Structure 1
Amino acid sequence: MRICFVVDKFPSLSETFVLDQIAGCLERGMEVGVVCNETTFGKEANVDDRRWKSLPGKVVCWWGWLGRYRPLLRKWSGKSWDKLSTAIDLLYARKLHKADVIVAHFGTNGLRVARVIKRGRISAPLVTVFHGNDVGGPMHDNTLARYRTVFQNGVLQMPVNAFFRDALIEVGAPPDEVVVHHMGVRPGEIEYRWRSWKNETLSFISVCRLTEKKGVEYALRALARLPRDDWHYSVIGAGELLEQLKRLAAELGIAGRVDFLGPRPHAEVKQRLRDAHVFVLPSVSAHNGDLEGIPVALMEAMAAGLTVVSTYHSGIPELIEDGKTGFLAPERDVAALAAKLVWVADNPVLCEPIAIAARRKIETDFNADVLNQQFARIATELAGTRAH
């Protein structure tokens, strides 16, 4: 079976969930290809795996040599961009012809493929996976109905959480064609290790892009309220807010207990997670509408035995049940978040059974091996419906 993934950049360190899904298809004997806007081989060493360079269905840029001009042309807006980009998509649509199933990650890519299908250029069934800003941004702008072309010309919408499913149905997606499909992690590759912080310096950690929706600002403000001072906070990741967050830590008087480590190799990230006690990710709805799906970083932390503290945001409550598998506070509520962190700091013994329950949650509901098997079954069934 030939399955084609349509993505923006490939391979991408910030989209390891795509790589894992592709790996799951390869493990099940599928002929996988990728159509993207830009290849990143040689640019992101952490994901420069030989598997991605030698996919049986190859990795190709949708626009070919014209792809180098896409960022420049993308500065256009509105109908002008839509018409031009669709015309070029149609010109190079033959790259999708051989697929038995097309999987578009992010609604924007699903929309591109749906427009090509609408014009009769390809006939493979289209599955669109909705992740975050592709839903949150249009919800914020009241333009989510733009995906009606996807609903009409695709066969299945796979939002990564129930919050997104409800939003898509509200703007016209047929309910029986919208199936929540969580991203996941492979528990077998993540060692569970509980570390008590009783009589130790309490180690907090965040692993994320330093953007507004990750809420690191609120983590800093909440940590500054801790009555104890025997704690340390490591922030792994880069982003446009890095310098602003460094200044905030200094203003709060906690810069000496906070390390901004930048992006780190995956092996080092795994080791730092093993050495930490509490994973903090107080996600928020960004002012431009950007939302989380369900952060994979939270899943990895839960699988590894850390106590997780996050927020009632998007699909995160589908992963974390407050007081049962982790802790949740309302978005942007520094006092409530600080109260959760204080309780965690004061109760290492009571946090251990919560960490055990969190690991079980990952093994049962967010297990990538199980989810990839479900995905492969759905793709195989859809391939059998292709109109030749």
Structure 2
Amino acid sequence: MPSQQRPTIAIVVKGYPRLSETFIAQEILALEGRGLPLSIWSLRHPTEKAVHPMHKRIKARASYLPEYLYQEPLRVAAGLAWGLRQPGVRRMLATFWRDLKRDMTPNRGRRLGQAFVLARELPAEIRHLHVHYLHTPASVVRYAAMLRGLTFSFSAHAKDIWTTPDWEIREKIADSAWGVTCTRDGHARLTALAPPSPSGVGRVDLVYHGLDLSRFPAPPQRPARDGSDPADPIRIVTVGRAVAKKGFDDLLTALAALPEGLHWQLVHIGGGELLAELKQQAAREGIGGRVVFLGAKAQPDVIAMMREADLFVLPAKQAKSGDRDGLPNVLMEAASQELAIVASDFAGIPEFLRDGREGVLVPPGRWDLLANAVNMLARDPARRTYLGKAAAARLARDFSMEAGIDHLATLFQAQLGGDGDAVPGSGAAAKLEAERALAAVRAE
């Protein structure tokens, strides 16, 4: 669809804005700062009242697809009527039918309906689609891209890598222009499923989110608490949604096992489906009076709590569903404040924190070793100071945001560098142009 307007990239997300996805907001804001024209399309409306300051600075307009098709039947009907007349509909429906035979769920049908709406309502200046998460959001984008004859790319993060079937990951990568992911183990899984592509199309790159350190205050000076004074207990903080993969149940068990002579308090920040269960567990373990659940908070409130804390703990593990974390941004936020960290030696965490050098790492699920690590660091303020400063130094040296944004900006500019006139239905012209541009980018 030729347009006289400036070519634009549509960023598609599962929900927007979301407090737990600071990495997405940071990325969008930084890409806008590089001059990339973006629009945001969300599969869900926001469920939280609070937003991060970053969300208020983002200029891209957010549009919302029907979360459930029955809620907006006129939009869905208009998308279907329009879509059935498009040259790309045969390819898209054939792909959907192959997917449905292997995943006979209502969710699959909902994604098809959302794809019809998205494809119809995308402005003519949209030249490329980029989706965060490789599971259901990428299904919507893949179908819509086929219908409109556009290229698409993806950012894969955590759950989408480890709970999506191999066949689905393989086929989505093959249809994409390119993809990125944020941890080495996630990258290894995706590249093993990616098809051979000498031109670079369908390739998956490792791109860390990093942190925009300009948004954070200088680290505070901390008192040398050692847990010996009941009037001045060690302050422990943890941040994350109350879901199984965060391991907060192990944290509560570990804290309940700490020696009676060690005085401490824990603050948890985050919403989530298991929040009520965690509160019940804290009461059952006899530590309910020492644990405060603050619920979801905006980033400035999270950083303020980290500045008052002595120790950050995140005992991530693999959930029974197979879901696991990537490299949680909250670890880098804690490091920005020179806060000593205890975390799991799991997923992408050891890519940032090395045991004994920038933090203390324990095997996932081992609450006994977690309790020992917390006990030892709580009593040793000098060790906490050393680890906090080392983590902050590693963050500034190797995990700043700039390198990742440079890489993404180059890839997006390559997508917008062609003539933009994709062939509706097949996407052949757009994909060929992307192949040439991306091969040139990676040859540099």
In structure 2, the CA distance between the partners of 1:275 and 1:173, relative to structure 1 (3 Å rule), is farther
Contact 2:256–2:287 (CA under 8 A) maintained in structure 1: yes
For residues 235 and 91 of structure 1, the distance between their equivalents in structure 2, rounded to whole angstroms, comes to 39
Residue 201 (structure 2) pairs with residue 179 (structure 1): no
Deviation string, structure 1 residues 181-229 (Cα, Å, up to 9, x no partner): 1122222222222524345521100111111111111111112222233
> Partner residue of 1:318?
351
Q: CA deviation at 1:253?
A: 2.2
Residue 323 (structure 2) pairs with residue 290 (structure 1): yes
Residue 305 (structure 2) pairs with residue 272 (structure 1): yes
Three-state SS of the structure 1 residue aligned to 2:126 is coil
Three-state SS of the structure 2 residue aligned to 1:280 is strand
Three-state SS of the structure 2 residue aligned to 1:25 is helix
> Partner residue of 2:189?
167
Q: CA deviation at 1:155?
A: 1.5
Residue 168 (structure 2) pairs with residue 136 (structure 1): no
Contact 1:93–1:122 (CA under 8 A) maintained in structure 2: no
> Partner residue of 1:18?
24
Residue 125 (structure 2) pairs with residue 98 (structure 1): yes
Superposed, 1:345-364 pairs within 5 Å as 345-364=378-397
For residues 191 and 142 of structure 2, the distance between their equivalents in structure 1, rounded to whole angstroms, comes to 18
Q: CA deviation at 1:385?
A: 4.6
Deviation string, structure 1 residues 304-350 (Cα, Å, up to 9, x no partner): 11111110221111111111111111111111111211221232212
For residues 356 and 114 of structure 1, the distance between their equivalents in structure 2, rounded to whole angstroms, comes to 44
> Partner residue of 1:111?
139
Deviation string, structure 1 residues 216-266 (Cα, Å, up to 9, x no partner): 111111122222331111111222222222222222222222112222344
Of 197, 209, 219, which aligns to 1:192? 219
In structure 2, the CA distance between the partners of 1:243 and 1:11, relative to structure 1 (3 Å rule), is closer
> Partner residue of 1:9?
15
> Partner residue of 1:336?
369
Three-state SS of the structure 2 residue aligned to 1:335 is helix
Q: CA deviation at 1:278?
A: 0.5
Q: TM-score of the superposition, structure 1-length normalised? A: 0.87
For residues 318 and 170 of structure 2, the distance between their equivalents in structure 1, rounded to whole angstroms, comes to 24
Q: CA deviation at 1:179?
A: 0.6
Give the partner amino acid of 1:201.
P
Q: CA deviation at 1:23?
A: 0.5
For residues 355 and 47 of structure 1, the distance between their equivalents in structure 2, rounded to whole angstroms, comes to 25
Q: TM-score of the superposition, structure 2-length normalised? A: 0.77
Contact 1:37–1:61 (CA under 8 A) maintained in structure 2: yes
> Partner residue of 1:215?
247
Superposed, 1:74-85 pairs within 5 Å as 78=104, 81-83=107-109, 85=111
Give the partner amino acid of 2:33.
E
Of 50, 61, 79, which aligns to 1:45? 50
For residues 289 and 153 of structure 1, the distance between their equivalents in structure 2, rounded to whole angstroms, comes to 25
> Partner residue of 2:435?
none
> Partner residue of 1:249?
282
In structure 2, the CA distance between the partners of 1:300 and 1:208, relative to structure 1 (3 Å rule), is same
Q: Give the stretch that moved more between structures: 347-356 or 271-280.
A: 347-356
Contact 2:44–2:66 (CA under 8 A) maintained in structure 1: no
> Which runs of 5 or more residues in structure 2 are unaligned?
1-6, 77-99, 227-231, 422-444
For residues 276 and 375 of structure 1, the distance between their equivalents in structure 2, rounded to whole angstroms, comes to 34
For residues 57 and 214 of structure 2, the distance between their equivalents in structure 1, rounded to whole angstroms, comes to 20
Residue 426 (structure 2) pairs with residue 376 (structure 1): no
Deviation string, structure 1 residues 104-142 (Cα, Å, up to 9, x no partner): 00002223322333x352223x2210111111212xxxx
Give the partner amino acid of 2:253.
R
For residues 330 and 160 of structure 1, the distance between their equivalents in structure 2, rounded to whole angstroms, comes to 21
Contact 1:123–1:386 (CA under 8 A) maintained in structure 2: no
Q: What RMSD in Å do the two structures reach over aligned CA positions? A: 2.7
For residues 198 and 181 of structure 1, the distance between their equivalents in structure 2, rounded to whole angstroms, comes to 38
Q: CA deviation at 1:144?
A: 2.4
Deviation string, structure 1 residues 268-312 (Cα, Å, up to 9, x no partner): 322211000101110111111111111111110011111111102
In structure 2, the CA distance between the partners of 1:257 and 1:174, relative to structure 1 (3 Å rule), is farther
Contact 2:327–2:349 (CA under 8 A) maintained in structure 1: yes
Superposed, 1:217-236 pairs within 5 Å as 217-227=249-259, 228-236=261-269
> Partner residue of 1:123?
150
For residues 240 and 157 of structure 2, the distance between their equivalents in structure 1, rounded to whole angstroms, comes to 16
For residues 34 and 185 of structure 1, the distance between their equivalents in structure 2, rounded to whole angstroms, comes to 21
Q: CA deviation at 1:363?
A: 1.3
**Number of aligned pairs?**
374
Query: Once the two structures are aligned, what percentage of the paired residues are identical?
Result: 26
In structure 2, the CA distance between the partners of 1:198 and 1:84, relative to structure 1 (3 Å rule), is closer
Q: CA deviation at 1:173?
A: 4.4
